[in-house]
Amino acid sequence: MVTSFITTNFYFLFLFSTFPALILSSPQTTCPDGKTVINVGYFKEEQPFEVAVKNRWFDTDDACFIFYPQSSGTKAGKKLQNGELQMAAMGSSPFALTLSRGMESTDFYTLHSKGDSQGMVTHPNSQIYSPSDLRSKKVAYVQGSTAHFHSLFIAELFSIPLKEVNFVPMSGGDIQSAWDEGAIDAAFCWGSCLDHIKASGTVLITARALSSWGKETFNNFVYDNAWLAESTHNEDHVKKFTKILANLDLDYINNSDDWGVGDNNIRDCADVCLRDTSTDDFFAASVATLEAFEFFTPTTQISCRYLADPDLNCVQQGTAVSTAATAEFLREQKVITASFPPSFYSDYITSKYVKEAIASSDTLSTFSSLASTYPIAPSWVDVRSEDRVKTVMDSPKVQNMIEGTRTYLKELYDRYLELPELVFSEFLEATCRLCEEALSDGGIGGGKESFGKFQLGVDALMDLKRSSHK
């Protein structure tokens, strides 16, 4: 009976075990044979450019864009470095952090200033009524994120020694769980995490207020320098990508009436952000998320405040100065070991593509008409859906990982045939939970980190086996 149970369920376990190389998507993303695949990281928060993601406006005759949700900008930076992503949305704090650690990527577009899209929220049982009350409290944030940066800035701003606050780095999902359990007193986060904790908590302070007090946080789009240098076609892709970003941001800024609850633009954004779109309540949430950000015209982007076009002869290059200041702050807080002057960071910031977009005669209709010639299958990967479709990344690294996982599980299968059915069932359930957690955390590149989570679960099987024979 036990052998039969395990044999029946081993395939299910094996299916989930290959998760380091699996991308869960629904429906399945497709790229025609022969096209170059360009992987892009983004966050599950409504942005105008997601209309283009939904409708495949970024695709070209020779390239296909696939968008992968990321849990943090720091992780996106790592994936840019190892080649899993070619472009990614990234917060200003992770950008400063990863550049200071040697990442070779370039900021070519300012997506938004954080505004009210991020904030610190206090738990109803926390007895926190002002920032000064954070002393001795447990405060969560996502490591290396703009939320991390602003959490430390709050302590500095209100003269609270860091050792007097119990700061705890967590993923967004873990923050929500800890909040529900009453295990944390406050958290600084964004997106679905912020929506979740705001439902029962109190907003103590927002990114908008902190930005006005001298520490602005914003999101950029960056590309991997090594990837850009591989082919002149890649630069062409960045040029088109930027034109679409600029046109959609302008449309949102100038035609906000077309971005309401019943409009297709909002429905497209909600789909790409993996929201449940069965009721208008969720579309209203999408509208509110968009309104929480501050978006910029292309002219503002190339101004001295941000990308600082060389023709403007800016005394200070906005993004470079703020990146240097962020890096120095993170160094003082011992998050990184080195920081550099603005001139260092300015080498990784360019206004070139936004400036070309301003001069271009291309409009939204230009891109929407071209898109009709490309496949209509979704270009974003859904790591959340219950309707799980598996896609294996076609790379030697991933294929080797799959083979290693097969070997590992075969050994387990041979070793643990004698497990009592109940014990194996409990292990199977726990392991599959770890698989899903790792996929959710890791996105496209769960890689070694995600595989490590799975191995922890498998190692727990040995403890279960030993305890079952005591």
Tens digits of residue pLDDT in 345-385:
999 999 999 999 999 988 877 777 665 555 445 666 654 43
**Which helix (DSSP H) or strand (DSSP E) does residue 25 occupy?**
strand 22-25
The residue-averaged pLDDT of 294-301 equals 92
pLDDT at 223: 97
Do 51 and 145 share a domain, yes or no?
no
pLDDT surpassing 50 at residue 105: yes
Tens digits of residue pLDDT in 178-204:
999 999 999 998 877 888 998 999 999
CB atoms within 10 A of CB 439: 22
pLDDT at 24: 32
Do 159 and 58 share a domain, yes or no?
no
Which residues lie closer than 8 Å to 243 by C-beta, 6 or more apart? 356, 357, 360, 362, 367
> Is residue 386 in a domain?
no
> Is residue 322 in a domain?
no
Do 230 and 95 share a domain, yes or no?
yes
pLDDT at 395: 44
> Is residue 378 in a domain?
no
Strands of the 202-206 sheet, one edge to the other: 166-169, 138-141, 186-190, 118-122, 202-206
Judged by average pLDDT, the poorest of 93-107, 263-277, 297-311, 431-445 is: 431-445
Tens digits of residue pLDDT in 38-64:
999 999 889 999 999 998 899 988 898
Could you give the count of Cα atoms lying within 13 Å of 23 in the half-sphere of its Cβ?
25
pLDDT at 386: 29
pLDDT at 431: 53
Tens digits of residue pLDDT in 322-350:
899 888 877 877 778 888 999 999 999 99
Across all residues in the chain, what is the average pLDDT?
A: 77
Do 166 and 39 share a domain, yes or no?
no
The pTM of this model reads 0.68
> Is residue 326 in a domain?
no
Which residues lie closer than 8 Å to 381 by C-beta, 6 or more apart? 23, 24, 25, 29, 66, 67, 68, 69, 391, 443, 444
Do 106 and 225 share a domain, yes or no?
yes
> Is residue 288 in a domain?
no
What's the maximum distance between 2 C-alpha atoms anywhere in the chain? Answer: 78
pLDDT surpassing 60 at residue 397: no
Judged by average pLDDT, the poorest of 273-277, 394-398, 423-427 is: 394-398
Tens digits of residue pLDDT in 128-164:
999 999 999 999 998 777 788 888 888 888 889 988 9
pLDDT surpassing 60 at residue 27: no
Domain boundary among 187, 212, 237: 212
> Is residue 38 in a domain?
yes
Do 162 and 205 share a domain, yes or no?
yes
Q: How many Å apart are CA 330 and CA 325, to the nearest integer?
A: 9
For residue 145 the two structure tokens come to 């994120």
Q: Which range marks the domain in which residue 249 is found?
A: 30-111+220-281+296-316+351-371
> Is residue 158 in a domain?
yes
DSSP per residue, 167-208:
EEE--HHHHHHHHHHT--SEEEEEHHHHHHHHTTSEEEEEHH
Domain count, the chain: 3
Identify the residue whose tokens are 């994120």: 145
Q: pLDDT higher for 64 or 400?
A: 64
Do 92 and 126 share a domain, yes or no?
no
> Is residue 337 in a domain?
no
Do 47 and 6 share a domain, yes or no?
no
Domain boundary among 183, 212, 241: 212
pLDDT at 259: 93
The residue-averaged pLDDT of 89-112 equals 90
pLDDT at 107: 97
Domain boundary among 212, 241, 269: 212
The CATH number of the domain holding residue 178 is 3.40.190.10
Closest CA to 378 of 43, 25, 32, 48: 25
Do 268 and 363 share a domain, yes or no?
yes
pLDDT surpassing 80 at residue 83: yes
Do 180 and 99 share a domain, yes or no?
no
Q: Is the peptide bond before 169 cis (omega within 30 degrees of 0)?
A: no
Do 229 and 301 share a domain, yes or no?
yes
Burial 126-155 (b: 16+ CB within 10 A, else e): bebeebebbeebbbbbbbbbbbbbbbbbbb
Do 430 and 414 share a domain, yes or no?
yes
Closest CA to 250 of 288, 287, 301: 301
Tens digits of residue pLDDT in 412-435:
555 555 555 445 555 555 555 545
